[in-house]
Amino acid sequence: MSLPVVALVGRPNVGKSTIFNRIINSRVAIVEDKAGVTRDRIYARAEWMGHEFILIDTGGITLDSGEIEEQIKAQAEIAIDEADVIVMLGDVTQHMTNMDETIAKMLYRTKKPVILAINKADNPEQRTDIYDFYSLGLGDPIPVSGSHGTGMGDLLDAIVGEFGDKANQHEDGSIRFSVIGRPNVGKSSLVNAILGEQRVIVSNIEGTTRDAIDTTFTNDGQKYTIVDTAGIRRRGKVYEKTEKYSVLRAISAIEESDITLLVLDASTGIREQDKHVAGYAHDAGRGVIIVVNKWDLPKKDSRSMKDFEDTIRREFQYLDYAPIIFVSAKTGQRVPDILKLVKEVHENQTRRIQSSVLNDLLLEATRITPTPLVNGKRLRIYYMTQVAVTPPTFVVFVNDPELLHFSYQRFLINQLRQNFDFVGTPIKILARKRK
Binding site residue list for GTP: 10-17, 57-61, 119-122, 181-188, 228-232, 293-296
Query: What does the per-residue mask of binding to ligand GDP show for 58-97, with x meaning CB under 6 A?
Result: -x--------------------------------------
Say how many Å lie between the first and final Cα of the chain, rounded: 33
Contact 20/44 with Cβ under 8 angstroms? yes
Q: Is 33 in the site for ligand GDP (CB under 6 A)?
A: yes
User: Is 297 a binder of ligand GDP (CB under 6 A)?
Assistant: yes
Considering the complex, state which of residue 40 and residue 220 has its C-beta at the smaller distance from ligand GDP.
40
How far are the Cα atoms of 151, 329, 396, 402 from residue 73, in angstroms, in the given order?
A: 27, 37, 51, 50
Q: Is 257 in the site for ligand GDP (CB under 6 A)?
A: no
Residues belonging to the binding site are 10-17, 57-61, 119-122, 181-188, 228-232, 293-296
Residues that contact ligand GDP, how many (by CB under 6 A)? 33
H or E stretch covering 54: strand 51-57
Residue 2 to residues 21, 54, 63, 319, Cα–Cα distance (Å): 22, 10, 28, 24
- Closest CB to ligand GDP among residues 179, 381: 179
Distance in angstroms (rounded) separating the CA atoms of residues 117 and 53: 18
* Of positions 26, 174, 189, 350, contacts ligand GDP by CB under 6 A: 189
Asked if 329 touches ligand GDP (CB under 6 A), the answer is yes
In angstroms, what is the C-alpha Rg of the chain?
Answer: 24
Q: How far apart are CA 391 and CA 352, in angstroms?
A: 11
* Residue from the set 58, 225, 246, 293 that interacts with ligand GDP by CB under 6 A: 293
The values of phi and psi at residue 122, to 5°, are -80, -25
Is residue 146 a contact residue for ligand GDP (CB under 6 A)?
yes
Residue 145 binding ligand GDP, by CB under 6 A: yes
Q: Does 40 bind ligand GDP (CB under 6 A)?
A: no
Reported residue count of the chain is 435
Which one of the spans 42-50, 71-79, 209-217, 326-334 is the region binding ligand GDP (CB under 6 A)? 326-334
Stretch that binds ligand GDP, among 290-298, 315-323, 362-370, 378-386 (CB under 6 A): 290-298
- Comparing CB distances to ligand GDP, the nearer of 91 and 166 is 91
Residue 125 burial (10 A CB sphere; 0-12, 13-18, 19+) = exposed
Least separation in angstroms between CB 202 and ligand GDP: 22
Nearest to 311 by CA among 333, 296, 326: 326
What residues have CB less than 8 Å from 268, skipping those under 6 apart?
none
For ligand GDP, the binding residues (CB under 6 A) are 10, 12-18, 31, 33, 37, 59, 119-120, 122, 145-147, 181, 183-189, 293-294, 296-297, 328-330
